């Protein structure tokens, strides 16, 4: 055999080997492997995503506040559409023909082979009629979904809402498809991963008209969806309802917290809206209306509104002064209608008796007393920068300038300037306590959110510590909530220094000369502090923080009313009524009527 014959035999052997491999693989695919049989019939299958039922939400007293209502989406697969009576379909789903063409274009642009949402949230009644005639519209089919149903008209900002998932989220998270709904803000957004559940998949045999012919292989390959987890919130929905009623025709916020746990009892931002309007087919239209509302009902003032704390901040400066030992509970300062910090420069004060102790200064809210304590802190240290850093560290221990890592997706840190801010503004060597003296009484650059103010009130009520404010106390099949919500966080102030400040807060209400004596209730010992924050754009803001009872406090609250004037006029009465309602004490009917009839937005 010559060398050419040998080469020919080798090539023939290689050819036979490769052919044998192909024949064996083809035999396996066509006759042996069910997986490929399965794939071969893909053009006769429809893969239906089975959306899970979203988890329920209860309040702290086991009242169901968020549930589900069944609805349907109409989906389309562009490559499967054929000539049809589009006018008839449009009439059945309430769509114009121009809109129909626009939606078909969008679906084709997304994918000719994948389903996409064509019409959202069709009612059960309309879906039932459409199902009977769906064979007339090849390429279209219905998908069962669940929309949210809110048992109450309140709590929009704390509950959040469902919105359509954006393309960025779809690309980053394989769970979502175009047209899916996702939790936005509040509990819905913060606990989306627990509430959403797990999707299932149903495989349906269909005929050439896309009509279902039953389950493939008797449902052997189907997967059932898993219902989302039930959540127990910390909210007292009855108190929430009452608070929102009191806040009608007002702009501002209320945050109430249980000091012993950090559980949020109410979180109110006004103006607000009925959460049900953002559930259903008209959601986009209603959302647009809310966006365009000049009073910004979508803006969560309780979490992201940043305001000067006004005279409520005097409590903190008093505590820091005690801790730094620059004053004692019996230290006396005089007030000559204010505090003159430089020649011809003065922080004014309202008329009152002279020579005040710390407790009396808190009760009547003397500006001069707390400007002097602020100056004494700076005098203690060698230089301004060292003093400011000590003062700022104390404030940070109260959660000021910190979002506090609660379980909401949104929130603001407020504003607690670093030294660099003042160095850049005035020059490193050219500022001191007098330069920023307005900070001593809660003005100037300092800004806090209402939830931070409520948390500060918890710290005072607890005599030095707090738990991170949170909105969920229990999750189905989970033994514990996030451990960060159950750890005590301590301020830098010693426990003993809180007592004299708390006595002063008691006198704010109990003393005939106290700034909130108008809310005195002999049935409850309330400790509070008024605040009036200057507003260059109009009427000053009305502020009040309080806790009750004095011993073993059950509720701590912060109320902020924009353009409400003195803290005693609007914020203090609202706070008092909320405390009375929560502690089941007799309500001051005259005060309640005044608040309910008050209108601070009619001229806006």
Domain membership flag for residue 21: no
Q: What is the pLDDT of residue 209?
A: 56
Nearest to 600 by CA among 543, 539, 557: 539
Same domain, 283 and 219: no
pLDDT below 50 — which residues of the chain? Answer: 29-42, 603-604
Same domain, 398 and 482: yes
205 HSE (CA, 13 A, CB side): 10
Q: What is the pLDDT of residue 575?
A: 98
Same domain, 532 and 480: yes
Domain membership flag for residue 575: yes
Domain membership flag for residue 537: yes
Same domain, 166 and 296: no
Q: What is the pLDDT of residue 602?
A: 63
Same domain, 216 and 267: no
The backbone torsions φ and ψ at residue 555, rounded to the nearest 5 degrees and listed phi first, read -145, 135
CATH number, domain at 156? 3.90.1310.10
Give me 367's structure tokens: 């500006």
Same domain, 416 and 477: yes
Same domain, 295 and 405: yes
Q: Which residues contact 521 (CB under 8 A, 6 or more apart)?
A: 576, 580, 585, 586, 588
Same domain, 367 and 414: yes
What burial class does residue 365 get, using C-beta atoms within 10 Å of its C-beta: 0-12 exposed, 13-18 middle, 19+ buried? buried
Q: What is the pLDDT of residue 321?
A: 97
Same domain, 242 and 186: no
Q: What is the pLDDT of residue 37?
A: 40
Q: What is the pLDDT of residue 499?
A: 97
* Residue 428 Cα distances to 99, 393, 422, 436, 445, angstroms: 63, 19, 7, 14, 17
Q: What is the pLDDT of residue 114?
A: 77
> Which residue range forms the structural domain that includes residue 174?
45-78+91-233
Q: Which residue in the block uniquely carries the two structure tokens 């009375």?
A: 580
Q: Which residues contact 382 (CB under 8 A, 6 or more apart)?
A: none
Tell whether the torsion through CA atoms of 78, 84, 87 and 90 is positive or negative. Answer: negative
| Cα–Cα distance measured from residue 161 to residue 66, given in angstroms and rounded to the nearest whole number | 10
Domain membership flag for residue 17: no
8 Å CB contact between 458 and 432? no
Give me 176's structure tokens: 């979502």
Please state the domain count of the chain: 2
SS3 484: helix
Q: What is the pLDDT of residue 42?
A: 47
| Cα–Cα distance measured from residue 368 to residue 350, given in angstroms and rounded to the nearest whole number | 10
Give me 503's structure tokens: 């006595």
8 Å CB contact between 374 and 440? yes
Same domain, 228 and 245: no
CATH number, domain at 383? 3.40.710.10
Give me 288's structure tokens: 């647009």
* pTM as predicted: 0.85
Helix and strand tally (H, E) in the chain?
21, 20
C-beta atoms surrounding 88 within 10 Å: 11
Q: What is the pLDDT of residue 18?
A: 63
Same domain, 247 and 209: no
DSSP 297-320: TTS-HHHH--B--GGGGHHHHHHH
Q: Which residues contact 593 (CB under 8 A, 6 or more apart)?
A: none
| Cα–Cα distance measured from residue 243 to residue 61, given in angstroms and rounded to the nearest whole number | 17
Chain centre distance of CA 482: 17
Q: What is the pLDDT of residue 534?
A: 85
Q: What is the pLDDT of residue 29?
A: 45
Domain membership flag for residue 8: no
C-beta atoms surrounding 199 within 10 Å: 17
Q: What is the pLDDT of residue 222?
A: 80
Domain membership flag for residue 185: yes
Same domain, 302 and 163: no
């Amino acid at each position: 055999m010559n060398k050419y014959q040998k080469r020919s035999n080798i090539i023939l052997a290689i050819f036979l080997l490769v052919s044998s491999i192909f024949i064996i693989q083809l035999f396996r695919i066509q006759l042996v492997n069910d997986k490929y049989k399965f794939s071969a019939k893909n053009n006769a299958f429809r893969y239906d995503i089975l959306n899970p039922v979203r988890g329920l939400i209860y309040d702290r007293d086991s009242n169901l506040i968020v549930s589900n209502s069944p609805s349907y989406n109409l989906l389309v697969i562009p490559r499967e559409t054929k000539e049809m009576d589009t006018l008839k379909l449009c009439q059945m789903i309430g769509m114009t023909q121009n809109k129909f063409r626009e939606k078909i274009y969008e679906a084709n642009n997304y994918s000719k082979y994948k389903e996409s949402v064509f019409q959202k949230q069709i009612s059960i009644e309309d879906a039932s009629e459409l199902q009977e005639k769906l064979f007339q519209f090849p390429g279209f089919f219905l998908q069962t979904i669940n929309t949210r149903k809110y048992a109450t008209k309140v709590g929009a900002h704390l509950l959040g809402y469902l919105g359509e998932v954006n393309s960025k989220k779809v690309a980053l998270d394989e769970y979502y498809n175009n047209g899916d709904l996702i939790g936005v803000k509040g509990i819905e957004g913060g606990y989306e991963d627990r509430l959403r559940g797990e999707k299932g998949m149903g495989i349906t045999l269909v005929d050439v008209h896309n009509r279902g012919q039953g389950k493939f292989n008797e449902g052997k390959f189907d997967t059932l969806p898993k219902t989302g987890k039930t959540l127990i919130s910390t909210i007292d929905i009855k108190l929430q309802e009452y608070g929102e009623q009191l806040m009608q025709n007002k702009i501002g916020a209320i945050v109430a917290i249980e000091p012993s746990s950090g559980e949020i009892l109410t979180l109110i931002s006004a103006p607000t809206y009925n959460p049900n309007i953002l559930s259903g087919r008209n959601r986009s239209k209603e959302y647009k209306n809310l966006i365009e509302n000049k009073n910004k009902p979508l803006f969560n003032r309780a979490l992201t509104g940043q305001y000067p704390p006004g005279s409520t901040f005097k409590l903190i400066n008093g505590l820091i002064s005690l801790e730094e030992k620059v004053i004692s509970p019996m230290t006396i300062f005089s007030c000559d209608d204010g505090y003159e910090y430089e020649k011809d420069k003065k922080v004014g004060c309202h008329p009152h008796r002279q020579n005040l102790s710390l407790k009396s200064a808190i009760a009547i809210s003397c500006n001069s007393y707390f400007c002097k304590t602020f100056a004494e802190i700076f005098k203690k240290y060698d230089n301004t920068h060292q003093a400011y850093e000590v003062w700022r560290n104390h404030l940070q221990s109260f959660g000021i300038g910190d979002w506090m890592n609660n379980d909401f997706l949104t929130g603001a840190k407020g504003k607690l300037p670093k030294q660099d801010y003042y160095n850049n503004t005035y020059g490193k060597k050219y500022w001191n306590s007098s330069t920023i003296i307005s900070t001593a009484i809660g003005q100037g650059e300092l800004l806090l959110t209402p939830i931070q103010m409520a948390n500060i009130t918890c710290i005072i009520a607890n005599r030095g510590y707090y738990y991170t404010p949170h909105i969920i106390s229990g999750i189905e099949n989970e033994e514990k909530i996030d451990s960060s919500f159950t750890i005590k966080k301590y301020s830098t102030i010693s426990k003993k220094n809180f007592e004299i400040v708390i006595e002063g807060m008691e006198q704010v209400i109990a003393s005939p000369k106290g700034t909130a004596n108008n809310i005195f209730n002999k049935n409850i010992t309330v400790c509070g502090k008024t605040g009036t924050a200057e507003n260059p754009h109009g009427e000053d803001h009305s502020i009040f923080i309080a806790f009750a009872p004095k011993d073993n406090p059950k509720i701590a609250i912060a109320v902020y009313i924009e353009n409400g004037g003195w803290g005693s006029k609007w914020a203090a009465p609202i706070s008092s009524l909320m405390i009375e309602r929560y502690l089941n004490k007799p309500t001051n009917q005259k005060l309640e009527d005044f608040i309910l009839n008050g209108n601070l937005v009619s001229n806006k």
